Chains A and B, each alone.
Chain A
Amino acid sequence: MSPGFPLAMGITLTYLGAIVVIPLAALVLKPWALGVDGVWKVLSDPRVLAALRLSFGSAILAALVDAVLGTVIGWTLVRYQFPGRRLLDALVDLPFALPTAVAGIALTALYAPNGPLGGLAALAGIKTAYSPLGIFIALIFVGLPFVVRAIEPVLSELDQEVEEAARTLGATDFQRVAMVVAPALLPSLISGVGLAFARGLGEYGSVIFIAGNMPMRTEIAPLLIVIKLEEFDYSGAALIGLTMVVMAFGMLLVINALQTLIARRGAA
């Protein structure tokens, strides 16, 4: 029986209470100062809806793109040996280690119309910075490490014999990957995508510079919160914030449910 329960529990609860629970309570309660009608008015405001749609939509799409990119990159890093592999592997963590504001201005410099990549895109008639596409790109950047890091451990622990069995039974490389490896990866891939989504939904610093921030078009939900605060519309700001928290949680619940569904079968 370990000692120190009262002290440890005390510190934990007090800290959590002061830093997380009470602030969260404020977030949950404040919007209702508007009254149910007021809440509905804000939530149905076209500008708010546009911002929520933009944040939610780009986060999901970016997470899905990250799923593809992350799987390929994770696979390459785990399955093959090549010079510089460790360097590449460390590079995957950069979006996670780099401060968001730094990432934000860097991405903008790259994708602005006069930037190297933005200029190229402009030649093709594609607007990257100051458009939803720019937001999309920034979120892909931010979410990539979550997917890669989620699937790497599973990939490296995959039993070689199982894949050999599939080969001796006549499976082509494609069949082997699709029918044997992919199902094993799925739970952690879903988890990684969920984390990438949650991160992208609320991302501020990486996106705010490249977005352009035009209401109804390139205004992300977190920015709308800041704007409402500057207008002293605390309840409105809290409402949007609460909505985002609910969205993030909803997604986490969906992911957990998906994983339980899958894990019930495969656990060995």
Chain B
Amino acid sequence: MPLEIKSLSKAFGQYPALKDVSLTAADGEFLALLGPSGSGKTTLLRILAGLEQPDSGEVLLNGEDFLSESIGARRVGMVFQHYALFRHMTVDQNIAFGLKVRPASARPNRKAIAARVDELLTLMQLEGLNRRYPSQLSGGQRQRVALARALAIEPRMLLLDEPFGALDAQVRRELRRWLRQVHDRTGVTTVFVTHDQEEALDLADRVAVLKDGALVQMGEPHQVYADPATAFVYDFLGPACRLSAVVAGDRLTVADWTNAAPPGAPSGKVELYFRPNDVSLSPADGPGFSAKVLHAGVRGASGKIECAVGEVILELEAAVSPRPAFLSRGADIRVLPNRCKLYPSAD
């Protein structure tokens, strides 16, 4: 079901959690709300769930006023960071809960409920665990149960609040794949809150970046990554290198290097951003600005080059083997960012 959020605002006392946020999600879309803590993403999610009421704004689901519906009537499936499973109920009973609490007129009969539970157990690969209690499950299993429980009610929208935050890295990656598969199978509109950019970019059809209660940028992951709207977004989405630069006329000058400024660049003092793994390094006579190598080492599968550009120290990545001879400690090199973004300088 398509989701439309219009000018949603919410303040907690003096603290503005959401400031006039508007966005949309198409039917069946996987939308990630990405931002640091305090960005308002969880507040937005909770408003969608009905656990909070906004001060102003509208939410339309499938064209209908969503906010006027009670929590139960919204039929929204929510998955919490700490699972929130009912610990005195078995896996079976947890999953069946949303169906069992329906008023008699809407409640499926026992066989239908059991069938649905089985269906979900299979989908989540939880067969055999149905009689267990949450305390007898691993973190990953618990979250799968939470997901199954949310899906049991055939939700119109699925909301996930940093669902993998409490799990370790390996489990997190596995569950990411799971979630995407489940989403593709069920086709439910999904809103996923996270502060982990890798997760958001990996999973989502579209990403909405929030900061301090406002929507900063929205778009498909590769778009947003390639073309961040602000310095904040650039920095948040991945490792970033930053240098001060100046744009005068159609020339861009950074450190000791001058080149044609990209079209549409802001003029005057700017901040130059580029990715540390998106550079070409060459000896002192090559293209780009000069830098002095402070340290050339290895990090994982790539080489880590720490170099100084004037007072600024940059950490760059370069292919390791074979390490070019010119990349040695103390050497003077040239750095050419393959791609870069320019933002007006804050001062």
Contact = CB atoms under 8 A, between A and B. Distances in A.
A172 to B, nearest CB: 7
Contact of A170 (B85, B87, B88, B102): B102
Given A179-B101, A268-B87, A170 B80 contact: no
B298 interface: no
Interface stretch (A49-57, A160-168, A208-216, A248-256): A160-168
B108 interface: no
Contacts of A184: 87-88
Interface in A162-211: 162, 164-172, 175, 179-180, 183-184
Nearest to A174: B101
Contacts of A175: 101
A172 B51 contact: no
Contact of A166 (B50, B97, B102, B133): B97
B149 interface: yes
B135 A267 contact: yes
A83 interface: no
A170 B75 contact: yes
Given A170-B75, A172-B72, A268-B134, A183 B50 contact: no
A154 to B, nearest CB: 12
Interface string B136-156: 000000000010011001000
Contact of B135 (A165, A171, A172, A268): A268
A170 B98 contact: yes
B135 A168 contact: no
Contacts of A183: 88
A160 B81 CA distance: 12
A170 B74 CA distance: 8
Nearest to A164: B51
A266 B133 CA distance: 7
A164 B81 CA distance: 12
A86 interface: no
Contacts of A170: 71-73, 75, 98, 101-102, 153
A169 B153 contact: yes
Interface centre among A167, A170, A268 (most CB of B within 10 A): A170
Nearest to B75: A170
A167 B71 contact: yes
A183 B146 CA distance: 19
Contacts of B134: 268
A265 B85 CA distance: 13
Contact of B72 (A162, A167, A179): A167
Interface residues of A, number: 22
Interface centre among B101, B134, B149 (most CB of A within 10 A): B101
A165 B101 contact: no
A171 B76 contact: no
Contact of A180 (B49, B86, B98, B102): B86
A166 B87 CA distance: 12
A164 B101 CA distance: 14
B78 interface: yes
A159 interface: yes
B199 to A, nearest CB: 20
A168 B97 contact: no
Contacts of B255: none
A164 B78 CA distance: 9
A167 B88 contact: no
B87 A266 contact: yes
B78 to A, nearest CB: 4
A168 B81 CA distance: 15
Contact of B77 (A168, A266, A267, A268): A168
Contact of B86 (A162, A167, A168, A267): A162
A161 B80 contact: yes
A175 B71 CA distance: 14
A198 B325 CA distance: 85
Interface in B237-261: none
A169 B102 CA distance: 9
Nearest to B80: A161
Interface string B77-99: 11011101111100000000110
Given A265-B133, A268-B134, 20 more contacts: A159-B84, A161-B82, A162-B87, A164-B51, A165-B85, A165-B86, A167-B50, A167-B71, A167-B72, A168-B49, A168-B50, A169-B98, A170-B71, A170-B72, A171-B97, A266-B87, A266-B88, A267-B87, A268-B87, A268-B135
7 contacts: A161-B81, A164-B51, A166-B86, A170-B75, A171-B72, A172-B72, A268-B87
Interface of A: 159, 161-162, 164-172, 175, 179-180, 183-184, 262, 265-268
Interface of B: 49-51, 71-78, 80-82, 84-88, 97-98, 101-102, 133-135, 146, 149-150, 153, 159
